[in-house]
A and B are shown apart, each in its own frame.
Chain A
Amino acid sequence: EADIYQTPRYLVIGTGKKITLECSQTMGHDKMYWYQQDPGMELHLIHYSYGVNSTEKGDLSSESTVSRIRTEHFPLTLESARPSHTSQYLCASSRTGGQNYGYTFGSGTRLTVV
């Protein structure tokens, strides 16, 4: 079944550790996005990609980095995690054109840095 997958669902990690949040989609979507959602509910775009080898920073400044080497894979990396990175991270994808201009979201990764 075509879908978008995020792993891990939950992660508790110590300060200073390097982490990678995985996001993969099997829908053949060319565009992918990372959002950060704090308890205040608002969704903040932190990174997006419109295709392989294309990545851009979003509206909210983030210390994380992303890569897009394959169409289906869009991992997010934090080189040195800090408590301020504690948040929910949501990955999404979409397809250029078509009738539905919406995004399909993954289930998210809840990150806690202690």
Chain B
Amino acid sequence: DQQVKQNSPSLSVQEGRISILNCDYTNSMFDYFLWYKKYPAEGPTFLISISSIKDKNEDGRFTVFLNKSAKHLSLHIVPSQPGDSAVYFCAATAREAQKLVFGQGTRLTINP
């Protein structure tokens, strides 16, 4: 039972344009959501997070949107840069459980 789903295995975007990565979840107990970025042969690094009491969180070029009624979150990267090419993982947790559940990942490729 996949509680966190990233339905797009890959995404290709032109440099300078907006990248939008999507994530859906099924567990209504999840109240904290995170995005991680992973380069090959390295561990994932934390990118941005959002609490369920918010619907938007912004950090520089990265913005995460949360739609609780749709159980959907998205990561916007604007403008996209070649260094953004990586695999992006969505993760969710019910804070009392403190165990992250990860999505399958989306490979983002930024084309020059």
> Across the interface, do A108 and B46 meet the contact criterion of CB distance under 8 Å?
no
> Across the interface, do B32 and A101 meet the contact criterion of CB distance under 8 Å?
yes
Q: Does B75 contact A (CB under 8 A)?
A: no
Name the contact of B9 in the complex, choosing from A41, A96, A105 (C-beta under 8 A). Answer: A41
Best-buried of B45, B89, B91, B100 by chain A (most CB within 10 Å): B100
> Across the interface, do A41 and B44 meet the contact criterion of CB distance under 8 Å?
no
Given contacts A41-B9, A102-B34, are A92 and B105 in contact (CB under 8 A)?
no
Chain A residue at minimum C-beta to C-beta distance from B92: A101
Given contacts A41-B105, A108-B42, are A102 and B98 in contact (CB under 8 A)?
no
B95: chain A residues at CB < 8 Å are 101
Q: Does B70 contact A (CB under 8 A)?
A: no
> Across the interface, do B43 and A43 meet the contact criterion of CB distance under 8 Å?
no
Within 8 A of B (CB), among A82-114: 88, 90-92, 94, 96, 100-108, 110
The answer for the CA separation of A59 and B98 in the assembled complex, in Å, is: 15
> Across the interface, do B46 and A104 meet the contact criterion of CB distance under 8 Å?
yes
The answer for the CA separation of A25 and B36 in the assembled complex, in Å, is: 19
Given contacts A41-B87, A41-B105, A94-B98, are A100 and B42 in contact (CB under 8 A)?
no
Interface residue tally on A, bucketed by range: 20 to 34
Q: Does A74 contact B (CB under 8 A)?
A: no
Q: Does A47 contact B (CB under 8 A)?
A: no
Chain B residue at minimum C-beta to C-beta distance from A94: B98
> Across the interface, do A101 and B98 meet the contact criterion of CB distance under 8 Å?
yes
Given contacts A107-B43, A108-B43, are A101 and B107 in contact (CB under 8 A)?
no
Chain A residue at minimum C-beta to C-beta distance from B89: A43
B102: chain A residues at CB < 8 Å are 42-43
Contact flags A28-62 to B (C-beta < 8 A → 1, else 0): 00010000000011110100100000000000000
B32: chain A residues at CB < 8 Å are 101
> Across the interface, do B87 and A31 meet the contact criterion of CB distance under 8 Å?
no
Q: Which residues of A contact B (CB under 8 A)?
A: 6, 9, 31, 40-43, 45, 48, 88, 90-92, 94, 96, 100-108, 110
**Contacts A9-B41, A90-B44 supplied; 17 other A-B pairs, CB < 8 Å:** A6-B43, A41-B9, A41-B105, A42-B105, A43-B89, A43-B105, A92-B43, A101-B95, A101-B98, A102-B36, A102-B91, A102-B100, A104-B46, A105-B36, A106-B43, A107-B42, A110-B41
